[in-house]
A and B are shown apart, each in its own frame.
Chain A
Amino acid sequence: MKIVNQGIEKIDAMALVTGKPVYTDDLAPENCLVVKVLRSPHAFAGIRDIDMAEALKIEGVECILTYRDVPGNRFTMAGQSYPEPSPYDRLILDQMVRYVGDPVAVVAGITEKAVEKALKLIQVSYDILDPVLDPDKALDHKSIIHPEADYHAREDIGNDAKRNLCASGEFLSGDAETEFSRCDVVVDRIYHTKANNQAMMETHRTFSYLDLAGRLVLCTSTQVPFHVRRIAATALNIPQSSVRVIKPRIGGGFGAKQTLVSELFPALVTLKTGKPAKMVFDRAESFTASTSRHEMKIRVRIGADRDGHILAIHMDTLSNTGAYGEHGPTTVGLSGHKTMSLYNMARAFKFTYTVVYTNTLSAGAYRGYGATQGTFALESAVNELADRLSMDPLDLRLKNILKPGDSVAAYYGETIHSCALPACIKKGREMIGWNQKFPFVNISNTKVRAVGAAIAMQGSG
């Protein structure tokens, strides 16, 4: 085995460790216009008027662009393949702002100082609207976050924007309610996971210029250059052949860069002015005006007979996609399909989901892509079930997990060809000293040290 089990050095290792200029901001031309964005201080508002007379007087300010200066094509910034499941619910700049941080105006200038001064001098008057902040109250709220007539979904995702419903659906296999009625024990719990930030070390950044053929070149810190090209073309209303995307080495992404974030602002400036432009998000902006993990509230019902045979699982996920639907219709699916599938011995599965808009930061992609939230919920419920059955939680899992050759009901009926989960569970049990430590050992009069378990799966080729 010359290759397998041997370390290999990455081809760019030495460039990285000697600090060579390989990242987006290291490559930007010196004469780029500095681009920054004025952001909404309101969670939900209509823009009545933008007065930029004073701001435009600042020396070094090149342009200030507002909703009047952008194409009217709605689009999604989610980096996803045809037919793009996320709804077309955005403009680069819109007359309606839908979360604290939504862009109101793009300012470009020769120096950062000039741009910052101009940002302070722009006067915006808003018609403040009643925001929807609680995902539990979003559906059929009297405030409609996306009332626009040209809003549309590209495929059937169970969408109804008038109800603040980004997506919904259900999956059934077997007769869950009948199986629940046969169970000796049913656990029924709601688990709530919060929005998190991916927090890669390199914040979002992009520079743009026109090349010798007049093509718009976007050099950007992204995980999805091919999608950036198509989305930028749609958003800017130019042909894809007029856009070239360069993705240099990136300083981490973790899903944050699976959505367009900084790209379109400098792109717009370059198209308007013909000049190179650059936007670098600061850390605060990366937290408040990018995309997060979807906050989810997941109700799990799981039932078993008294010997620990799981008969039925029902997961009902409420996912908060925030102000825009980036990855909303797709992440939610993994909260059920990538979790229940592990318990393939169950006779019935039910998965229902609702993805709602709220006036909060748009959610997006983040490692695990929805499976993370679902795993926390279902695995917690399985542990509670073990407790109710007075069974060891590892034994309960070994009794119910999928086996090679199974057709996996909750995973689109696909056949699983290999699975080493029982061996993993056994090895994990041994390594952590489970049998000596479960459920806990007293380490003093006031403290115990406990062990717990969870299993998870990920898809692969």
Chain B
Amino acid sequence: MSSQNSNTLRPLDDLIIRIANNQDQQAFIELFEQIGAKLKAYAIRCGALDGEAEDIVQECMLTVWRKAHQFNPKTASATTWLYTIVRNKRIDMARKTKYDVVLSDDLWPEPEGEDLETDVARDLEGKIARTLLHGLPEEQRQIVYKVYFEGKSHSEIANELDLPLGTIKSRLRLAMKKLDTLAQEQMTWLIIILLTNF
């Protein structure tokens, strides 16, 4: 890999595919070195203590090792796939001691048959999300963080920031509008969806 664009997600894809095809331990180590510390940071940001976060990362990496064959680069980027795994482990680790609770397998059952996904997701790969995140002013980004890391609803965010609900909604709308100008071509359909609902 001598690409000048060493920030692309390609290498992670390749590592996961090598794990899937060859049970390649070296690839596993490289993957861990690239993403492990971020997985841990994510878990901590979601409220896990240091030791709990390490448990979550361990479960997450073991799942990567065992289920690498389920990774499909045509439907999701490596970081998106890894995100879904760490999200699910975070849910399950916190709840495994309780009975009759909802687990991640209930919410996201493994696909039964061929998972026919559209090209839309792949085409948008990374671009939207990256644009969304980095193109946003802090006050708009803060709201997205609160939904993802703290599970806040718009009205809870409004209370917490001591702002009117309308302001939260209009900031999100602004966020989406900003995206519209930044990534017009791919984004049009998404913008329509988001603008009409937020």
The answer on A and B forming one complex is no
